[in-house]
Structure 1
């Protein structure tokens, strides 16, 4: 499994676009993880006398209306936006794999019950469902994380269910069952591992959508609450200063756009690499 994943990753990085996208994602991740070491400023340090400073050697991207360093807030905002999006999609993937595996393997009433509940959440647009859940849970990082996780749960449940249904009648499953393996053993050791590749690629592509959704909630003031920075929150505060200091809204907007584009490009490269490996195995 690990060798196959490394092989697919190597093929994905073989294209120029894949390498550029991976490089940008690496830069964003490093900036988010090592933000305290990469900037001498605190993200909430206010120096009103330094408000609306243009980019300079001291402040590479300038300062906002409170004199806070924009580069610093952009890096800490990446930490908030990426962590919320990745953890939320991870929650969706984990629960989706469990629900989808149970529904696809056992079928019948269990399948119908899970499918009805999942389809009910899927009938709402992600942003509408997220707004409803945040209104119930309350604004903040936790509310945003749970809202995004529930919003994308149906997608992974449906995907896992379809994969399990196509695999449950395979010879290796029948062999495991004839040897006395329990249903839980077959699911955990045979079926779910064989569904991970398409699920994880879909999860990566969904992470880009989750970043946009998190930024949207932050823009509406429903995401991370001040002074904690997030890309959406930074864009929201920059709307009032659009003509005086456009960088306040421009830089986090570019960060969101470039990161989502990079995720989609690298995700497409992974899909293409998986198709290549699949064709090679068939040949």
Structure 2
């Protein structure tokens, strides 16, 4: 086993060694696997209506019951996990990449560019994410693409500010001055020396922001601005069940539990990630 592989294995062990990281990571792995193999583990289609089986409570035939159109709720929950998790994760990934690039450039070059970026970022930071998302979805239009763009922009300021502060702290370090004196260009210094050392706090922030993004995606879906029927999402499922709370409470309870437990699991896994990154830093300091 190479030294790099040993480090990564130690890093993963450190995450799952803590109860919080093990519980959170275990739940996330189960949800992801269930969503990926949904067509193999459920005999029902998520978009086929069987009206004669509408409003059936949980039973051996339908483990989580059926909705108002007779569709199996467990099937839609699994397919909804695909929508909610993929939209949230991809949106945060786009936001991280764009935010880190913008924040790194602003923190490294400074000057008028830094002031302009900081002004725009601070202005967007002053508005709640849900308000920014609602405005952008209203402009772009409802659907998965509009939701992803809205979430990515809503969290862009968070990663740009964090990266900027990290770069401004690191750019005066000795190894940066040494690289500059050896003739390294700006791109080499940024991407080879500064960004890798600024990645850890951004990674933790992105992990925790993914949980918030799931809630935001569910909120947009609840308002009918997310994935459009018949594509299931947890928020849209909760919206359809909100008016049936006393007639068929399982329609809204199970998607709501899925959102709540998944967000809690992400935060627990984030705690384990924070501890693991601290261990990794200690390992590097001893080398």
Same fold (TM over 0.5): yes
Shift in Å at residue 143 of structure 1?
0.7
- The answer to whether residue 115 in structure 2 is matched with residue 142 in structure 1 is no
Q: Say if 2:23 and 2:268, in contact at 8 Å, map to a contact too.
A: no
Distance 2:161 2:11 in 1: 24
For residue 200 of structure 1, give the secondary structure of its aligned residue in structure 2.
helix
Aligned to 2:122: 119
The answer to whether 1:40 aligns with 2:43 is yes
Give a deviation string over 1:147-169, Cα, whole Å, max 9, x none.
00000000000111111111111
- CA distance change for structure 1 residues 2 and 154 in 2, over 3 Å: closer, same or farther? farther
TM-score by length of 2: 0.95
How far apart, in 2, do the equivalents of 1:217 and 1:163 lie? 32
Once the two structures are TM-superposed, the CA of residue 3 in structure 1 deviates from its matched residue by: 5.2
- SS of match in other structure, 1:113: helix
2:206 counterpart (200, 203, 211): 203
Shift of 1:173: 1.0
Partner of 1:55, secondary structure, is: coil
Q: Does 1:12 align with 2:1?
A: no
Aligned to 1:110: 113
Q: Structure 1 residues 152-161 or 272-281, which shifts more?
A: 272-281
CA gap of 1:190–1:280, structure 2 versus 1, over 3 A, is closer
Q: TM-score, normalised by structure 1?
A: 0.96
- The residue aligned with 1:248 is 251
Match of 1:65 in 2: 68
Runs of 4+ displaced beyond 3 Å: 1-6, 276-283
| 2:182 aligned with 1:179 | yes
User: Out of 245, 258, 276, which is 1:273 matched to?
Assistant: 276
How far 1:252 sits from its partner (Å)?
Answer: 0.3
Structure 1 residues not aligned, in runs of 5+: none
1:274 positional shift: 2.1
Deviation, structure 1 residue 7: 2.7
How many angstroms does 1:197 deviate by?
Answer: 1.6
Q: Aligned partners of 2:285 and 2:249: how far apart in 1?
A: 54
Q: Please say which of residues 155-164 and 194-203 is displaced more in the overlay.
A: 194-203
Aligned-partner SS, 2:17: coil
Q: Hey, what does 2:162 align to over in structure 1?
A: 159
Distance 1:192 1:21 in 2: 28
CA distance in 2, matches of 1:193, 1:18: 23
For residues 148 and 187 of structure 1, what CA distance do their matches in structure 2 show? Answer: 26
